[in-house]
């Protein structure tokens, strides 16, 4: 199971909860997991707070890792009501045809050519673009939207990195929030 929770500043919440830092193996060495923590007791080094078992072994033993992610797009979001309002506004999808806008957006900032070629006009299509960026679905970049939507969420036969639909939809929603926040901030500064 993979649980990710987004924060504008993860340290603010980590300061409030008792937790252990997840560990991963990198070329045979034990290193800190970039975002993973355990909010439960797990074998750990008392001086570093680092788990003494890697996160894959920990999962097989029943420990529950949560990834606390820093997602700076939330910096301008004032509260939950503001977040919901930004999410519920239909974005100006045409803005995704402008490189200077796409380069500011979460996860798609380095993929202007693909975004401007596919021209997504819905959260579902934007989620598909996010999936196509990953190796397992990259071949879809030359297909029509009908073909893309028919194949994009199928699990690849080989063990390649791909985005599950739920993950991609969540990221697409975050991009919509960010796009609407950019528009809101532009309107505020122009008034």
Report the pLDDT value the prediction gives residue 160, as an integer from 0 to 100. Answer: 79
- Strand 20-26 relative to strand 50-54, pairing: parallel
Q: How far apart are CA 57 and CA 24, in angstroms?
A: 9
3 pLDDT above the threshold of 90: no
Q: Which of 19, 50, 70 is the last residue of a domain?
A: 70
Same domain, 56 and 37: yes
Same domain, 54 and 85: no
Same domain, 125 and 82: yes
Q: Which of 19, 44, 70 is the last residue of a domain?
A: 70
How many degrees, rounded to 5, is the angle at CA 152 between CA 147 and CA 134? 125
Same domain, 115 and 25: no
Helix or strand (DSSP H, E) at 66: strand 65-70
Domain extent, residue 65, equals 3-70
Same domain, 173 and 123: yes
Q: How far apart are CA 33 and CA 17, in angstroms?
A: 18
Beta bridge mates, 38: 20, 65
Report the pLDDT value the prediction gives residue 154, as an integer from 0 to 100. Answer: 93
Q: What predicted TM-score, i.e. pTM, was given to this entire model?
A: 0.74
Same domain, 63 and 77: no
Residues 55-60: what's their mean pLDDT?
92
Residues 102-128: what's their mean pLDDT?
96
pLDDT digits (tens, 9 = 90+) for 134-191: 989 999 999 999 999 999 999 988 877 788 899 899 999 999 999 999 999 888 877 6
């Amino acid at each position: 199971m993979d649980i990710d929770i987004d924060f504008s500043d993860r340290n603010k919440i980590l300061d409030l909860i008792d937790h252990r830092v997840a560990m991963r193996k990198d070329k045979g060495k034990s290193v800190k997991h970039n975002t993973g923590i355990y909010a439960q007791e797990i074998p750990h080094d008392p001086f570093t707070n680092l788990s003494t078992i890697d996160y894959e072994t920990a999962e097989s033993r029943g420990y529950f890792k949560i990834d606390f992610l820093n997602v700076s797009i939330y910096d301008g979001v004032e509260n939950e009501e503001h977040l919901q309002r930004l999410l519920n506004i239909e974005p100006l999808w045409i803005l995704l045809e402008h490189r200077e806008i796409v380069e500011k957006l979460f996860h798609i900032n380095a993929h202007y050519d693909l975004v401007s070629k596919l021209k997504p006009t819905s959260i579902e299509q934007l989620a598909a673009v996010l999936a196509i960026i990953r190796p397992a679905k990259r071949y879809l970049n030359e297909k029509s939207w009908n073909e893309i939507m028919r194949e994009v969420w199928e699990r690849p036969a080989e063990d390649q990195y791909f985005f599950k639909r739920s993950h991609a939809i969540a990221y697409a929603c975050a991009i919509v929030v960010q796009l609407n926040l950019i528009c809101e901030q532009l309107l505020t500064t122009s008034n």
